[in-house]
Structure 1
Amino acid sequence: MSNLWYNYSYWDYYTFFFYIFVMFFTGVLAFIGQNSRRLIGLNRSVQQHEGNNINKVFFIGIAFLLVFISGFRVTNGKVGIDTANYEEIFKSVQSGELKVFSLKNIITLNQVEPGYLLLNKIIGFFTNNAQFLFVTCSTITIVFILIAALQKKDNISIPQILMIYCSSFFIQSFNLVRLYLAVSIIIYAYSYIEKRKIFKYTTLVLLAASFHFTALIVWPVYFFWNKNNFKFKNIIYFLIIAVFIYKFNDIFNIYFSNTKYSYYDNTLNENSHGIGLYLIKSPLLLIAFILRKPLAKVDKANDLYINILIFDFLLTPLSYSFNIFGRISSYFSIIEIFLIPSFAQISRKKNYTQIFNFLIYLCILVKYIYYIQAYWNVDAIMPYQNILFNSLFD
């Protein structure tokens, strides 16, 4: 698809603080939802029946809030620079210019993914308004994120999970709609690695790939984790990845040179900020690896998440030569929403827990500021505008 966007962005402090408010308010709702029984003081007999309903109400409220902000944003390249392309795809599907199922195009990777085209076609049966496409994509994305977050309710803080998500991933989804739809499915799919259910994991990976083919890269992650320890076979897998990276340019030219991904051949990732990628990824990976055993006691899945971070770190060199790998990284970096809150649960000493919580919230703020400063113009996320209010800040 041709790029139809015009950059309408300009720095806007109202938007800067609006996103902080959304992040904070989401955290408050999640805190009440996760701790409603204790806060309201329900007795044990009532807890078993009413407590769950109270939790669901608050998380449904979070879903409505985030879908409202994401799904009803002004599009056409104004909030999310790629939205004009998504609208063009929607119109092309409705006109018949783009066929939902073209085996030739699927095999040669020369068409938008069939799952996404099918979703466009289904929405087109009900309305010709592309805004409902963004509402639907936002709803699917948020629902998968919330389901994945709620699976961790007994181990870590859901408010911290959702605040980390809102600090960057949520806002970036305004631009990378298909990618984050796939990412949300993958973060849920990771739970089936923990359960060692390869069929369900594979099914979800294929579902995610129907929206963004790049999701297929996470399928080998299933084999990178053992419930008990970091086995020698993991080192073998990582060496295979190293060879893959070394030979990737040759692999790319053989398999992708005549596909829609040829655009990324030898294109410098202008958003990688040089060695900055390593500086950003190294601290969390290093600290998590050092604290691997206590983190695994908080949640056995943390061992898996550390392996995923290593996988992401090894792929980092490709981000400098192939822009697409900067986006693919989102499948791996998304696990930060589970790994970072786990640090607060390492120690049972209240003072240490408070220190970790303070550092986590500081990390959330720093992560948000970094993302906004680096990408507000690239992703066109400022100023925020909503179709129901035209512009919230005019």
Structure 2
Amino acid sequence: MNYFLIIFIPTALYLLSEILPRKSNIFKRIAIGFLIIMTSLRYGFGADFFTYNAAFDRIRDGISLDAFEPGYIFLNKFISYLGLPFNYLLLVVAIFNYVLLYKAIEENLTKHKWLAMFLFLAYFDLFFYSLSAIRQSIALSVFMFASRYVKRKQLIKYVLWIYFASLFHVTALILIPFYFFYNKFSKSSFSKLSFVMGGCILSYVFLIKYIDLLRPLMNTRIEYYVFIETSNGMHSSILYAVITGLLLLCWLFIITKLKNRPNIGATVGEKTEQKIGIPMMAMAVFLTLKVMQYMNYFSIMPRLEMYFYCFYIFAIPTALQAFEINSRRVLAGILVCCMIFFFILSYNQITEYAYEFYSTYKLIIFN
């Protein structure tokens, strides 16, 4: 089966739910059901598919695996205790992940939900990556759902959910400070936010330089995720970290300007700039960031960074609502075309060195 159908069918169903609001829930549920079926019935797709399959067999046979977290081991034991094969584990994970995705989209967006679904499926480090990183996909889904408690300032609930996520992937524990960071700076002025981000960029320099000093304090899993991701020279480029920070600040500034732009007394040229120029600039900055990510020019630890990619699927549709309706359509069209382009580039790149895992999306019923 062509993998790209998995991107477009749920997106089309979500788009139909906005065109035909009376049957909105039906189309959305079909879309979520389609994702659950397609991901749970897959066979051999993803670099870690056979690794997880073999681990399932070993856990079923009573062999201890220290490399996995207790929550994931328990889930394997439960499925094998019922006498069910590996794909039933994938089914449970798929139901869990996509029900949380559905709830997160419903809570965070009132319009352009189809775009959120498309971004989730087309953003290479979200849906596509989750087909290999099964454990971390669970943790990411929990974080995406638990972020509601950050905005509601419910610390205990947030920490409990993050602890639950860490039972499937230990890197989730790094997300606990996010609660304090968000509530401290979410309503800060642009200058204060710039100062904070500047500090983060500078701390990047010291992190890369002195991270070896922290190695004795790390357990095996943490050490693996930190050092395997920082060993690449491009991942430790200070210049690109600074450029990325500046681009993020530029994007935040443009979005702020869009939300507060004056319309009364504006000349024809100013109105044209507001309707077309500024929105195009905002998307240009976002797509520049996407290009840099594709080129691997910025990243300290992608395994930690990927948790925050899920906010793109909410931030972009929310930003579009600040534009005029014609600008929304133009921007949405440009964004869809660009994301498809970047996805094809990334897909071709990964199939060059892992062709056997990504060439064809196979279903176990046809294997």
Could you say which TM-score interval applies, normalised by the shorter chain?
0.7 to 0.9
Structure 2 counterpart of 1:246, which letter?
A: F
Deviation of 1:27 (Å): 1.3
Could you tell me which of 34, 37, 46 is aligned with 1:65? 34
Partner of 1:289: 252
Query: Do 2:234 and 2:297's aligned partners in 1 also have CA atoms closer than 8 Å?
Result: no
| Alignment pair present for 1:359 and 2:334 | yes
Partner of 1:158: 113
Partner of 1:97: 63
Structure 1 counterpart of 2:217, which letter?
A: Y
After superposition, the Cα gap between the structure-2 partners of 1:283 and 1:67, relative to the gap in structure 1 and judged at 3 Å, is farther
Partner of 2:282: none
Query: Do 1:181 and 1:208's aligned partners in 2 also have CA atoms closer than 8 Å?
Result: yes
Structure 1 counterpart of 2:89, which letter?
A: L
CA-to-aligned-CA distance 1:115-157 (integer Å, 9 cap, x gap): 1111111112212411211121122111111111111331x31
Partner of 2:211: 249
Query: Do 1:81 and 1:175's aligned partners in 2 also have CA atoms closer than 8 Å?
Result: yes
Structure 2 counterpart of 1:70, which letter?
A: T
Secondary structure (helix, strand or coil) at the match of 1:199 reads: helix
Distance 1:318 1:279 in 2: 9
CA-to-aligned-CA distance 1:257-283 (integer Å, 9 cap, x gap): x52344456446688866698699679
Partner of 1:45: none
Distance 2:53 2:240 in 1: 32
Distance 2:230 2:62 in 1: 34
Q: Could you tell which deviates more after superposition, 194-203 or 354-363?
A: 354-363
Mapping of 1:178-327 within 5 angstroms?
Answer: 178-226=135-183, 227-230=186-189, 232=192, 235=195, 239=199, 242-243=202-203, 246-247=206-207, 249-256=211-218, 259-264=220-225, 266-267=227-228, 285-293=248-256, 319=299, 325-327=301-303
Deviation of 1:353 (Å): 2.0
Query: Do 1:157 and 1:341's aligned partners in 2 also have CA atoms closer than 8 Å?
Result: yes
Distance 1:284 1:240 in 2: 14
Count residues in correspondence.
324
Mapping of 1:12-91 within 5 angstroms?
Answer: 18-37=2-21, 51=22, 54-74=23-43, 78-91=44-57
Structure 2 counterpart of 1:28, which letter?
A: A
Structure 1 counterpart of 2:330, which letter?
A: I
Secondary structure (helix, strand or coil) at the match of 2:364 reads: coil
Query: Do 1:63 and 1:142's aligned partners in 2 also have CA atoms closer than 8 Å?
Result: yes
Higher helix share: 2
Distance 1:373 1:277 in 2: 24
Distance 1:337 1:384 in 2: 24
Distance 1:279 1:79 in 2: 36
Deviation of 1:56 (Å): 2.5
After superposition, the Cα gap between the structure-2 partners of 1:123 and 1:271, relative to the gap in structure 1 and judged at 3 Å, is farther
CA-to-aligned-CA distance 1:60-118 (integer Å, 9 cap, x gap): 211221112211111xxx3111122212221232222227xxxxxxxxxx541111111
Mapping of 1:104-115 within 5 angstroms?
Answer: 111-115=67-71
After superposition, the Cα gap between the structure-2 partners of 1:124 and 1:296, relative to the gap in structure 1 and judged at 3 Å, is farther
Distance 1:27 1:283 in 2: 32
Deviation of 1:294 (Å): 5.5
After superposition, the Cα gap between the structure-2 partners of 1:59 and 1:245, relative to the gap in structure 1 and judged at 3 Å, is farther
Could you tell me which of 89, 95, 105 is aligned with 1:149? 105
After superposition, the Cα gap between the structure-2 partners of 1:377 and 1:146, relative to the gap in structure 1 and judged at 3 Å, is farther
Distance 2:52 2:118 in 1: 27
Distance 1:62 1:272 in 2: 41
Distance 2:240 2:133 in 1: 19
Deviation of 1:158 (Å): 0.8
What's the RMSD between the two structures over aligned residues? 3.4
State percent identity of aligned pairs: 22
Secondary structure (helix, strand or coil) at the match of 1:291 reads: helix
Distance 1:91 1:144 in 2: 28
Query: Do 1:245 and 1:318's aligned partners in 2 also have CA atoms closer than 8 Å?
Result: no
Deviation of 1:289 (Å): 1.4
After superposition, the Cα gap between the structure-2 partners of 1:202 and 1:264, relative to the gap in structure 1 and judged at 3 Å, is closer
Deviation of 1:163 (Å): 0.6
Structure 1 spans left out of the alignment, 5+ residues:
1-14, 38-50, 100-109, 298-305
Deviation of 1:331 (Å): 0.2
CA-to-aligned-CA distance 1:151-176 (integer Å, 9 cap, x gap): 1331x311100111111221221111
Query: Do 1:137 and 1:181's aligned partners in 2 also have CA atoms closer than 8 Å?
Result: yes
